[in-house]
Amino acid sequence: MFVSCFSREESKHSKTENHEQDILQASLSISLKPGERAIFNVFDVYRRSIALKNATTKDSLFEEKIWIDKPLLLVSGNVLVVPDGDPILRIYGLLLSPGDSVVLDRHDDGALSMHYSSGLPNFVDSLIVVPKDFYEHDGKRQQKRLAEIGVAGITQDIDAAFQKNETAIAALAMPEVKARLLSSLNSNIKYTAIAHLLADPAVASSGLTDSLYEDLFQHMDEIRSIDATTKGTIFGALIAYNAKKQHGDVDKTDMWEAAAYADQQLKQTDMYKQHLVSAVAGTFVHSPKEITAINKELQSIHTQDPFLDTLYQLTNILSATFTDFSQAKAALKAFAGGRYRFIIEDNEQSANHEMKVITDLPPVELHDFAGNKSDFKRIVMNKDYMLTLVDLWASWCVPCIMEMPDLKKTAEKFRDKPIRFLAISIDKEEDVDKWVAVAKKNAIYNKPNQYRLANFRESPLTKLLNIRNIPRYLVINNEGRVLDEDFYRPSESSFELELLKLLD
């Protein structure tokens, strides 16, 4: 999954396909120095992170109110650069319950520490052993272990790690409620490891894997008791294994094929339905162009199950947001008693995918490295070029900088084509020195088509396209039509191919 550098707080009402739930606040506070930021990955219907940033000129404490109806696992990571050694990735897992209040300190090296907590006394990684694979699965390592010790050996290791953590939890002598919470997370770690095993295409069904599947199925309520980033992994593995068991030729890695061929017992569970709704909602918000692909998948299977037909109709409506947003919004409100209207209403500005134009925008001021001013529209609508690919980045955005080499390679390949590659930093005025320093380090300083967007927060471009996450790539033609407001990243295999299609 890609990393982005901004986020926002969602609605305080969590809406599912069955009902609306009133939920409670948890409070997360963190002390940050000027320019510092902290990002926490989370699980919900379609949000992927919570970001806090100090945009002031003094050390400050920032608070985020998080609306939850069950314990929520937040995950933050940072890289410690060690002189003459390999960088060290440090991960911090924070388990919040409704009503909890937590205050964190961020240190000079980026490390986090617990200053105060009304819930668990420390990060979960400091209380029990949380394997790195829980946060980021290493498929190659699993293949190697399968070859060495097989499914039975891996299962034994999973059970041993689970029991070791249970012993550690008992030794902490915490209040029973907190001990149960930590034990539930320990179970989630165990079930995530089992899920990775069951979802592996190289793992065939057997009596052992059937028992592992039954263990997951029987403990679905416990798995759902915590909103962890791995919940989708577990539910996806359950569906994939079940479908493969029913039809041996099912591809475990094809989510929608698995959804079609799962048995009726599984299809009747809330887990099955919520997992698929979450997949649709998450795709619509984070990769809206992929909704059409999901719609095509559902078109071929929607007659096999009433719920799949519901999702097919839902994706028909969501696809219409690209052509007539108002009509699509009204249709979604009326569809299925309005139970899916949250997909648009909770994130309405981002949900409007109608093609936008920049022709009527007020001046969008850009500055080059020398401080000279230019107008975005004049640059983009230059008739010497058919298209402009806009790279929105910032000096503090590591994922943005990681994309630069691939973007440079593509620009070189396309140098004889009628396309301009325009890089625009969203760094603030007081961060110009940082912008310059990063530009010099990456050999783009004083190169053509390098600019900084003036007053990012209030810029007409920011408001038109609801720019919240970077890296962000735009494709605009010389008539000012925004052909794609969230284009593929340069590191993706589709990047160059899709550019060629737009140039054709």
* Weakest-pLDDT range from 16-20, 148-152, 388-392: 16-20
Q: Which amino acid is at 500?
A: L
Say if 166 falls within a structural domain: no
* Mean pLDDT of the 252-266 span: 95
Determine the residue type at 152.
A
- Residue 4 pLDDT level (bands cut at 50, 70, 90): very low
pLDDT tens digits, 28-74: 999 998 878 888 887 655 555 788 888 788 899 999 998 889 999 99
Q: Residue 178's Cα: distance from chain center in Å?
A: 28
Residues 143 and 242 in one domain: yes
123 and 260 fall within a common domain: no
Report pLDDT for 485.
87
Q: How many CB atoms lie within 10 A of CB 201?
A: 11
The residue among 351, 349, 437 whose CA lies nearest residue 394 is 437
Half-sphere exposure of 336 (CA within 13 A, CB side): 19
The model's confidence at residue 84, banded by pLDDT at 50, 70 and 90, is low
- Residue 141 and residue 269 in one domain: yes
Mean pLDDT in residue range 436-451 = 93
Degrees, nearest 5: CA angle 409-415-418: 130
Q: For the chain, how long is the longest CA-to-CA vector? A: 71
Query: CA-CA distances (angstroms) from residue 188 to 47, 192, 235, 422?
Result: 20, 6, 12, 45
Residue 169 forms part of a structural domain: no
Do 20 and 103 sit in the same domain of this protein? yes
Are residue 418 and residue 431 in the same domain, yes or no?
Answer: yes
Minimal CA–CA distance to 317: which of 356, 343, 279, 282? 343
Which DSSP helix (H) or strand (E) runs through 331?
A: helix 325-334
Residue 3 has pLDDT above 80, yes or no: no
Question: Are residues 454 and 396 located together in one domain of the fold?
Answer: yes
| Strand partners for 104 | 30, 114
| Contact (Cβ atoms closer than 8 angstroms) between residue 44 and residue 8 | no
Three-state SS for 277?
helix
Q: In the chain, how many domains are there? A: 4
- Give the residue from 332, 354, 376 where a domain finishes: 354
Q: Does residue 204 belong to any structural domain of this protein? A: yes
Provide the edge-to-edge strand list for the sheet that holds 24-32: 60-68, 24-32, 101-106, 112-117
349-354 long-range Cβ contacts below 8 angstroms, 24+ apart:
349/466, 350/285, 350/466, 350/468, 351/284, 351/285, 351/321, 351/325, 352/321, 352/325, 353/288, 353/321, 353/322, 353/325, 353/485, 354/321, 354/322, 354/323, 354/324, 354/325
Mean pLDDT of the region 324-342: 92
Are 233 and 324 found together in one domain? no
For 178-218, the pLDDT digits (tens) are 999 999 999 999 999 999 999 999 999 999 999 999 999 99
What pLDDT score does 490 carry? Answer: 94
Q: Is there a domain that residue 206 lies in?
A: yes
**pTM for the full predicted model:** 0.72
Q: Is the pLDDT of residue 19 over 80?
A: no
Structural domain that includes position 73: 13-127
> By 3-state DSSP, what share of the chain in percent is helix, strand and coil, each rounded to 5?
45, 20, 35
Residue 359 has pLDDT above 80, yes or no: yes
The reply to whether 170 falls in a domain is: no
